[in-house]
Amino acid sequence: MLEQLLREFYQGSKLAAARIITMVENDTPAGREILRKLYPKGGRAYIVGMTGPAGSGKSTLTNSLVKLMRQQNYRVGVVAVDPTSPFTGGALLGDRVRMGDLALDPGVFIRSMGTRGDLGGLSWAARDALTVLDAFGCDYLIAETVGTGQSQVDVATVADTVIMVTVPGLGDDIQAAKAGIMEIGNIFVVNKADRGDADQVVRFLQATLELGSRDAGWQPPVIKTIAWQGTGVEEVLKAILAHRRFLEQAGLLAGLRQARMKEEVMRRVERMILDRLNNGIQTGAVLSRVYARELDPWTAAEKMLQSMLCSKQE
Amino acid sequence: MLEQLLREFYQGSKLAAARIITMVENDTPAGREILRKLYPKGGRAYIVGMTGPAGSGKSTLTNSLVKLMRQQNYRVGVVAVDPTSPFTGGALLGDRVRMGDLALDPGVFIRSMGTRGDLGGLSWAARDALTVLDAFGCDYLIAETVGTGQSQVDVATVADTVIMVTVPGLGDDIQAAKAGIMEIGNIFVVNKADRGDADQVVRFLQATLELGSRDAGWQPPVIKTIAWQGTGVEEVLKAILAHRRFLEQAGLLAGLRQARMKEEVMRRVERMILDRLNNGIQTGAVLSRVYARELDPWTAAEKMLQSMLCSKQE
């Protein structure tokens, strides 16, 4: 049955891809087995991260970008992470609503997923979905995350090129607050540029970018778009291709990807260890002593670590 | 010498406290030794977290709150985390500028620190500074963080009561983007309430809060303030005391603090493990195989875990 599913997947069945992503998302044993099988087939896709505040028109921009990429015959996958707010419940946008006329295109695969109470972090499910779509043969993958909390930062850990989207009218306070995370952006987009003070936002971004000591050789462009009209989207695609060319010609892409792989493996080890610790018998006893302030958190952490490690490694 | 420093610290010397925090911040062996000694003396301070965007007037609100707390003879400590943006470099505000007329008050201790490239997370140094000030005998501690990225979320991992500060004029888009993290707030403050649409922001917050299923028994208040005038700050203090009373009477405070301690210990174990992994010999070999896509990240993580763990625990 798994073999059949994989056969259909390799033949390009979007239905098979959707089913595999669901299995992966639910973290089933079969899902994990499939991931192991698919991993070696990947590594070809170029991953674009897109982040920005809710309401900045990321989905519209993504859809316009996908259409342009399709005109150049690229196969495209999109993984959109919508925060599952405890106040709204559930993903904000259904895939069908999002996709519109792209739904029937066999060269486009779009998947939305929630963050599952992760408080903004990019979920493992999203990472795994990108792995699946990479193996599915996508030339470009777009990872779209709402820019609150950790997801904004996490997107840099999966993407080759990070696009930061903003809109006029957020106020200088907010734009300034963002300056701290601007270093993760390779391309800046001011969407809804037909609104009031778009040029002012562009100037603010350019001034802030000039202040920073960027990676040598790449000056992040600031591009105005009106995504629902398609205005400026071509420049965004050109900027993506230019950034890709820059990374490849400077010999940086491989190093970037290796650093990301390392980060991913480390995070997985971390998570496995925490799972073990949380299920450990000794953990509770040590923690009780911390609650009673008989033991400090540093000594407690060392005790737990010692109890897990091989003594030969001491 | 350490003994002498500790003696002065216990006698209430702010200079000694400042020196200890610096040692702790620089993560020196002496700093760690001191932390171990101080930890059992703490646990008395009530910790208030304050988060909100840059420019929302958090520092001014904090200063007004501190003055009110002083009128009630509480001893107060403040740890303010300013993001060290790679675009600006260094903490945004010096302690002296911040403190103003509070600088000479022996019952107030204020410390600003950067996030050290932590991309918004609440640093270990900030957590440790809170531990020091707890042992210093502070009745109330205020942990103030700029509300970008992870720090906003992290503040809930150190604070008994979390105050989320906002200001009019950020736009509904931004307010809505915040809804996803509103569950960490126990008290909401609309500062600079003399500006345009303060009442609209209050209504928006109240409506959003009503949508959510909150912890039974506590309905987060939304308070308008003009912090530089002191307007509304008394209500904020009353709300803090009310939330504290609620947590204590409902028997929730101890559980909340234990959960936070556990979280802290786990994070420390995590960090120790990553340090070990990063320095491990085997790590590089396994990662090379991942880079070559001979090995998937899941299997690699398991291999690394196995190499660290005691076989008896298998």
Q: What is the 3-state secondary structure (H, E, C) of A69-80?
A: HHHCCCCEEEEE
Q: Do A86 and B39 touch (CB under 8 A)?
A: no
Is residue B97 within 8 angstroms of chain A, CB to CB? no
Say if CB B156 and CB B91 are below 8 A apart. no
Q: Which of A190-204, A217-231, B156-170, B269-283 has the lowest mean pLDDT?
A: B269-283
pLDDT of residue A136: 97
Q: Which domains does chain B have, with CATH numbers?
A: 44-253 (3.40.50.300), 264-313 (no CATH)
Residue that has been written with the tokens 């991953």 in this structure: A47
Which distant-in-sequence residues (6+ apart) come within 8 Å of A10 by Cβ? none
Is residue B258 within 8 angstroms of chain A, CB to CB? yes
Tell me the Ramachandran region of residue B161: left when phi exceeds 0, alpha when psi lies from -120 to 50, beta otherwise: beta
Using an 8 Å CB-CB cutoff, list chain B residues near A300: 265, 268
What is the chain B residue with the closest CA to A268?
B301
pTM: 0.68
Say if CB A53 and CB B171 are below 8 A apart. no
Q: First and final CA of chain A: distance in angstroms?
A: 46
Strand, coil or helix: A109: strand
What residues does B162 pair with on adjacent strands? B49
Which residue from A54, A269, A297 is facing B268, i.e. has the nearest CB? Answer: A297
Q: Do A293 and B43 touch (CB under 8 A)?
A: yes
pLDDT of residue A234: 97
Is residue B259 within 8 angstroms of chain A, CB to CB? no
pLDDT, tens digit (0-9, with 9 covering 90-100), for A222-247: 999 999 999 999 999 999 999 999 99
Residue A110: what are its φ and ψ, rounded to 5°? Answer: -125, 135
Which of B262, B267, B302 has the highest number of chain A CBs within 10 A, making it the mutation to test binding with A?
A: B262
Q: How far apart are CA B91 and CA B85, in angstroms?
A: 8
CA distance B91 to chain A (A): 12
pLDDT, tens digit (0-9, with 9 covering 90-100), for A179-221: 556 778 899 999 999 987 889 889 888 887 876 655 668 889 9
pLDDT of residue A231: 95
Residues 163 through 182 of chain A touching chain B, CB cutoff 8 Å:
167, 169-174, 176-182
Name residue A248's amino acid: E
Residue A17: what are its φ and ψ, rounded to 5°? Answer: -60, -45
pLDDT of residue B283: 80
Q: How far apart are CA B243 and CA B241, in angstroms?
A: 5
Token pair of A165 as six digits: 């989207």
Q: Helix axis angle, B297-308 relative to B281-291, nearest 10°?
A: 170
Residue B13 has pLDDT above 90, yes or no: yes
Say if CB A191 and CB A56 are below 8 A apart. yes
Q: Which of A97-106, B27-36, B112-121 has the lowest mean pLDDT?
A: B112-121
Say if CB B83 and CB B146 are below 8 A apart. yes
Residue that has been written with the tokens 């170029």 in this structure: A46
Say if CB B76 and CB B142 are below 8 A apart. yes
Write the ipTM.
Answer: 0.72
